[in-house]
Chains A and B, each alone.
Chain A
């Protein structure tokens, strides 16, 4: 296993400019538009298992992609590249193995790198899923003003840039959950309370913003009192 790898930032899209008009609805669209999308979907779910990793690590494996790999082959494209990252992290497949096999499948004659000795992360979940029962009391209560911290650590997080530094109000206390920031790197589950926090649009985007409320979930480590 390698140490903590930096996210590229490419996945953190909230509030980003330059993406053009909103997509059109297509109620008749098939679940998988092309056959390979279904194969990539299933391979990705299985890759989490065989690499001995978890959903947060998988999300981070996608967040490490550069913009080209993240966007150009769509949703299941980034799943497939993310799955390959997990499999290389755990030494299930060697770097270059997929490329070599693809070359040989299309008439090439190249040496394929041998399968490495697997090194899965030393980690075992304490239970299934992400929700945990914890004894710690809630630090924040419904109706309380809170600030989303400014956090720029290089590893995984679910704290979006567009909420950072802004003040909102706790709307719902959600079940305690394991912290993606540490779970993605197999450091600790760090289960903690999660809160749905309501932000006023003008707090987030300034006085000219459309009038609406933005609700999002913050893990307790992402929050501080605002008074």
Chain B
């Protein structure tokens, strides 16, 4: 039995259409179910969820304490759970510590909080290099850290999903939780950027 795909290369778009057609005509796949999966991750589950978690942690010290103690149950308080969110560990960036997340083996990512991973996260250069020279990689991506900052790289190899709690910018003092949600970027919640006000 062959388990390797054919060496004959077919354009990937056509390949996806052919497979869908084969499975749909045998009743194995319902195109409406496919549409609902796609819509869920295009519309409902994305980095806005994570931004709500961050803004709440910045404005509610008790929530922040629960979040760092048990990320999974704390984010569930806001209704965030589901595939790729079985166990969430939240790591906090501070004046002295910078955390950054990767999955070198595939592209594991906390879907319930951030949605599906962006292209840069899935890029072989990021996967290969951020575990070996994170300061250089972050600088290439636009984030130069002082030599005095402790850098910790989290390589997601089990079903634990890591989520970075970025530092609240000083200039955001006085902003409401809702206003804070709007300034939290996806990339800061993975640790390749910081939040500017």
Contacts and interface: CB of A to CB of B under 8 A. Distances in A.
Interface in B95-145: 104-107, 115-120, 122-137, 140-142
Interface string A62-99: 10111001010111110011011101110011011111
Contact of A210 (B104, B123, B136): B136
Contact of A102 (B14, B129, B141): B14
Nearest to A213: B152
A72 to B, nearest CB: 8
Nearest to A65: B5
B159 interface: yes
Interface size class of B (residues with CB under 8 A): 35 or more
Contacts of B21: 101, 105
B12 A80 contact: yes
Contact of B1 (A38, A95, A97): A95
B3 A85 contact: yes
A14 B35 CA distance: 34
Interface string A192-227: 001010100000110001111111111100000000
Interface string A39-60: 1111101110010000000010
Contacts of B15: 80, 98, 102
Given A210-B136, A215-B155, A98 B187 contact: no
Given A14-B131, A45-B37, A23 B157 contact: no
A213 B132 contact: no
A145 interface: no
A62 B106 contact: yes
A217 B160 contact: yes
A211 B23 CA distance: 51
A121 to B, nearest CB: 13
A160 B104 contact: yes
Contact of B37 (A22, A41, A204): A41
A158 interface: yes
A13 interface: yes
Contact of B29 (A35, A46, A210): A46
Contacts of A62: 106
A223 B197 CA distance: 44
Given A84-B19, A106-B14, A217-B157, A25 B124 contact: no
A34 B128 contact: no
Interface residues of A, number: 95
Nearest to A10: B124
B120 A98 contact: no
B20 A39 contact: yes
Contacts of A2: 1, 3
Which has the most chain A C-beta neighbours within 10 Å: B22, B38, B115, B135? B22
Contacts of A130: 86, 158-159
A50 B26 CA distance: 12
Given A42-B34, A50-B23, A95 B2 contact: yes
Given A95-B1, A160-B157, A23 B16 contact: no
A36 B26 contact: no
A8 B161 CA distance: 25
Nearest to B98: A212
B104 A12 contact: yes
A115 interface: yes
Per CB-CB distance, the 5 closest pairs between chain A and chain B, nearest first, are A14-B104, A217-B158, A42-B34, A19-B125, A23-B120
Given A12-B104, A46-B28, A213-B152, 12 more contacts: A2-B3, A13-B104, A13-B127, A16-B124, A25-B192, A75-B117, A92-B23, A98-B6, A162-B132, A210-B133, A212-B150, A214-B153
27 contacts: A13-B104, A14-B155, A15-B131, A22-B120, A27-B186, A31-B115, A33-B119, A43-B19, A43-B20, A46-B23, A46-B29, A46-B37, A80-B12, A98-B10, A98-B15, A101-B18, A105-B14, A158-B105, A158-B158, A160-B104, A162-B104, A172-B89, A174-B160, A175-B160, A196-B89, A213-B152, A214-B155
